[in-house]
Structure formats: structure tokens, C-alpha cells
Amino acid sequence: MNTLDDATRLAYLKEMGITVWQSRTAAANTVDTVPAGNTSTSPMTPKAVESQGDKKQTWIQLLDEIMHCQKCHLAKTRNKIVPGVGDTNADWLFIGEGPGFYEDQQGEPFVGKSGQLLDNMLLSLDLVRGRNVYIANIVKCRASEAGKDRQPTEEESAICMPFLEKQIALIAPKIIVALGKTAACALLRISREPSLSSLRKKVHTYEQGGMTIPLVITYHPSYLLRTPQGKAQAWEDLCLAMDTLEGIQNAN
């Protein structure tokens, strides 16, 4: 249950650059109707029954596999692999497209200015990096061209995706938030043709191996840094995700 008071949330929203307060209910009311079958109370298959010891061992094996991966050519130019960070029993899973320059230096997703913005987005949801939230990317190694960050290709995303699928199976989050179109389309297993705005304002479904997890799509923090006017829309998306999760929790 979300316990953040309005004054504190307002302070975090101000940090995000959103100066017009919009109550969560009001924001949620601005979104389109959730498609049938994808309501906020849509059930999620229970987490696989696995002892904590087995799960820890599986995580260790998976991280070892990721850290030694040479499956695609991004391995040749990476500095550090960025598997993900956070609470492995989290309800919330945030997924971006891939590490950039600073992430590649530090081995952690979403550092630097986009990381600060994401942390503020998390705080507005009463979440702190590492507690009840896990943050990962579609690809684990930096994609770059002429020294500059670039979007990972669909092929690179497809090669790396099995790692994320294993992470999702282990975490079994109650809600996934896709940050940007690359992440959204990879999770929906569709081409990158649709615009991000056409994918927002609805609760999608991420399906994998019998698991059905609500998926909300919003802007990537890097985009929001370049386009601050999108922050209010991102807040609407976060409200939709929060209400979806609360609907699941209230139904249980």
C-alpha cells in the first residue's frame, strides 16, 4: 500500500520538474479505458514455488552467465556489463533499453542525470532504489557508435532478451514499467513501428511461461530530460501503474 503523503510526493514531483500538482485519482482519470482482460485487478500467476536458497543459487548462476556473456558483438566494446540492480523480490520492475556511457563505466543501470530523474520518479511512488523495486535493461552491454550512445538494434535486443526473461521469472514482479519504446516493444514482442504515445495510457500484459504481469509504458528518463514537458504525462503513467498495483493488492 502506498503511504507517501501529498506534501512529500509534491516535493518529489517538483524535483522531477513537475510543478503542477495533479492528484493521483485525477491523473488516473485522464487515462483511456483499460482494455478488457487487462484490468487493474487482473490476476498474476503465483510466483514459482522455489526455496530462497534455490532462488539465490539460480540468481548467482544467472549473474555469472551474464557477466561472462559473449553472445553478441556488444561484448567487444563494453567496459562493464550492467545486469541490473535492486530487490530481487520486488513488486515493481522498471526496464530501460540499455546502458549508456556512465552505466558502462559504473556497471549500474540509470546513473547520472537520467538516473537521478528515475530515482525521483521512484520516490514519487514511495519507492527507493533497492527496496521493493528492481531496475534492469533489455540489453546488458552498451551500444555505441563513434563513441556515442545509440539505441540497441532489434537483433541485439533479441539476443540479450533471454537474460531479462530469466530475471523476470525469478523476480516475478507484480507490475512492470517499460521506460521508452525500445523496452516497450521488446517486452510486447512487437516491431518498433508504433509511436510511444500510442502505447501509453493503457495497461498491457507481459506474458511469459504462464506468468501474466501488467505492463505500463512511459517515457525514458533521458527523453524526459530533453523534453521536460513530457514529465506530467510520465506522472500520469506512474499513477496508472500505481493504481494497477493497488488494484491487485486490494483484490488479494
- Site residues for ligand SF4 per CB under 6 A: 66, 69-72, 74-75, 81, 139-141, 159-160
Based on CB atoms, which residue is closest to ligand SF4, 70 or 252? Answer: 70
Based on CB atoms, which residue is closest to ligand SF4, 9 or 78? Answer: 78
Rounded to a whole number of angstroms, the minimum distance from the CB of residue 163 to ligand SF4 is 6
Query: 96 Cβ partners below 8 Å, 6+ apart?
Result: 109, 110, 135, 136, 137, 138, 179, 180, 183, 220, 221
Of 172, 168, 170, 174, the closest CA to residue 248 belongs to: 174
Rounded to a whole number of angstroms, the minimum distance from the CB of residue 67 to ligand SF4 is 8
Q: Where are the alpha helices (DSSP H) in 2-149?
A: 6-16, 24-29, 52-67, 74-77, 101-106, 112-124
Q: CB count, 10 Å around CB of 2?
A: 13
Based on CB atoms, which residue is closest to ligand SF4, 41 or 77? Answer: 77
Rounded to a whole number of angstroms, the minimum distance from the CB of residue 139 to ligand SF4 is 4
Q: CB count, 10 Å around CB of 193?
A: 8
Rounded to a whole number of angstroms, the minimum distance from the CB of residue 55 to ligand SF4 is 21
At 189, give phi and psi (nearest 5°).
Answer: 60, 50
Distances in Å between the alpha carbon of 194 and those of 39, 45, 180, 197?
22, 29, 12, 8
CA 232 to chain CA mean position, Å: 18
Q: Return the C-alpha cell found at 164.
A: 531479462
Rounded to a whole number of angstroms, the minimum distance from the CB of residue 158 to ligand SF4 is 9
Based on CB atoms, which residue is closest to ligand SF4, 161 or 225? Answer: 161
Based on CB atoms, which residue is closest to ligand SF4, 31 or 169? Answer: 169
- Distance, in Å, from the CA atom of 156 to the CA atom of 186, rounded to the nearest integer, reads 11
Rounded to a whole number of angstroms, the minimum distance from the CB of residue 135 to ligand SF4 is 16
Based on CB atoms, which residue is closest to ligand SF4, 81 or 239? Answer: 81
